[in-house]
Amino acid sequence: MDYVVLDTDVASLILKYRLAGRLASWLANKTLFVTFVTVGELTKWGDLQGWGPRRWAALDIWLRSVYVLEYDESVVRTWGRLVAAGQRRGRSPQVNDTWIAACCLVEGLPLATQNVKDYLDFARHHGLALAPS
């Protein structure tokens, strides 16, 4: 069975029933993961949008259908190394993208994202595998 981590953009499209095309087909029979960061970002999004009980319940049901990658010491240390490496190259990677990349790298899982440019540095310099978009 194939495993893949969903970036928040892909998770939100799935929740809105708007993910289509090549990526949707590629994800069809995969075991899906999200990171603790995506859970936080989706919660922030729902709160800002003023979701009612039905939308919150739908999010909770969907989150029970995927696996959530939590942080641990390996993820924290990998995050620190990614940020330091980016800064040495003159880049300041986005904090949440760096956490998501760290989770993927520690678990050895590919990332499905439609924001490929946000993760190219991690792919080029750290071996982050990106799903076909």
pTM of the model: 0.95
- Residue 33 phi, psi dihedral angles, 5° rounding: -125, 150
Q: Which residues are within 8 A (CB) of 107 and not within 5 positions of it... i.e. 6 or more apart?
A: 5, 33, 69
Q: Is the pLDDT of residue 132 over 90?
A: no
Two tokens at 23?
A: 């990526």
Question: How far is it, in rounded angstroms, from Cα 110 to Cα 58?
Answer: 26
The mean pLDDT of 111-125, rounded to a whole number, is: 96
Question: How far is it, in rounded angstroms, from Cα 123 to Cα 52?
Answer: 38
The domains of the chain are located at 3-126
Beta partners for residue 34, in sequence order: 68
CATH of 3-126, picked from 1.10.510.10, 3.40.50.1010, 3.30.565.10, 3.40.30.10, is 3.40.50.1010
Render pLDDT for 2-43 as a digit per residue (tens, 0 to 9). Answer: 999 999 999 999 999 999 889 999 999 999 999 999 999 999
What b/e readout covers 29-58, taking b as 16+ CB neighbours within 10 angstroms?
A: ebebbbbebbbebbeeebeeeeeeeeeeee
Q: Is the pLDDT of residue 129 over 90?
A: yes
Residue 69, classed as helix, strand or coil, is: strand
Beta strand 111-112 with 31-35 is: unpaired
Q: Is the pLDDT of residue 93 over 90?
A: no
